[in-house]
Amino acid sequence: MPTKLEKTINETNKPITKSDIINALKQLGLHAQSKVEVHASLSTFGFIVNKQYDVLDALIETITQGVIIMPAHTSEMTNPRDWENPPVPKDWIPIIEENRKPFNPKTFMPERIGIIPKTFLIYPGVKRTCHPEVSLSVLNQTNDSHWLDHSFDDRDLIHPLYKLKEEKGHILMMGTDFYTCSSIHLSEFLSDYATIDQYDYEVVINDKVIKKTITTKYFDDDDINFKAISETYIEKYKNTDAYKQVKVGNTTLTLIEAEKLYDIAKAFHLNYKK
């Protein structure tokens, strides 16, 4: 039985370099001032000489005066009463709630995200928002400090990804698809089929523990909205500059426009009927 590395080597025609990835990013039209939300899967590329570091270095050396945003979510900090995959016994819940540590964006490792966004967290200049459930890692090389503003209430739309939409930024999927696009969640609270949840947390902000109430309003079935929104986007923008793709190694990089995706998602959530 071949190891994972042996399988990767066998499936790769030639080693992928940082320069290969930089060339692909430039083919998509990314440049020094670009502002992007990035979702990336290392395993889809094939054999990369310096693994995730080449992917991150390529992004950072291409986007030298803009903004790079990646997920840094901590699903273990969500309300344990909502855990489904897997759930915990009900009599565990008060023990978990009583003993969980305050969320500290400097030390809490993200869960259920790939090695590329995890490694991005430790890169020089990268800062993390303070949302205990769905924090984001941001490398902001502009003069605008508001890229780290992230409300604890979803309905406020004070959020790095909403700002990305307002700034006409892009979403880059590196070997992933629309199901990884965090921006689709932005307009979920507008739906009549969204559930509101509030939960009290302790959060470490500027080295002080502060009590915060998180207000989340989420669409009840992600499989429905993500599928419909992605299909609508592709149908509308395929073969245009709003939907660009380029191959590098074994994977496909896809670049879409954040504002156009938001508009489609908003229309879906406002008009959806069961």
Please state the domain extents for the chain: 4-271
Convert the pLDDT of each residue in 26-70 to its tens digit.
999 999 999 999 999 999 999 999 999 999 999 999 999 999 999
Work out the pLDDT band at 85, boundaries 50, 70, 90. Answer: confident
Work out the pLDDT band at 2, boundaries 50, 70, 90. Answer: confident
C-beta separation of 121 from 110 below 8 A: yes
Query: Which phi and psi angles does 16 have, rounded to 5°?
Result: -90, 135
Work out the pLDDT band at 83, boundaries 50, 70, 90. Answer: confident
Per-residue confidence (pLDDT) for residue 33, from 0 to 100 = 98
Work out the pLDDT band at 86, boundaries 50, 70, 90. Answer: confident
Query: What are the counts of helices (DSSP H) followed by strands (DSSP E) for the chain?
Result: 8, 9
Convert the pLDDT of each residue in 136-156 to its tens digit.
999 999 999 999 999 999 999
Work out the pLDDT band at 112, boundaries 50, 70, 90. Answer: confident
Those residues whose C-beta lies under 8 Å from the C-beta of residue 133, and which sit 6 or more positions away, are 73, 74, 75, 77, 78, 214, 216
Convert the pLDDT of each residue in 147-187 to its tens digit.
999 999 999 999 999 999 999 999 999 999 999 999 999 99
Convert the pLDDT of each residue in 227-269 to its tens digit.
999 999 999 999 999 999 999 999 999 999 999 999 999 999 9
C-beta separation of 39 from 173 below 8 A: yes
State the Cα–Cα distance between residues 246 and 255, nearest whole angstrom: 9
Which two structure tokens, joined as six digits, stand for 82?
A: 């909502």
pLDDT at 13 over 90: no
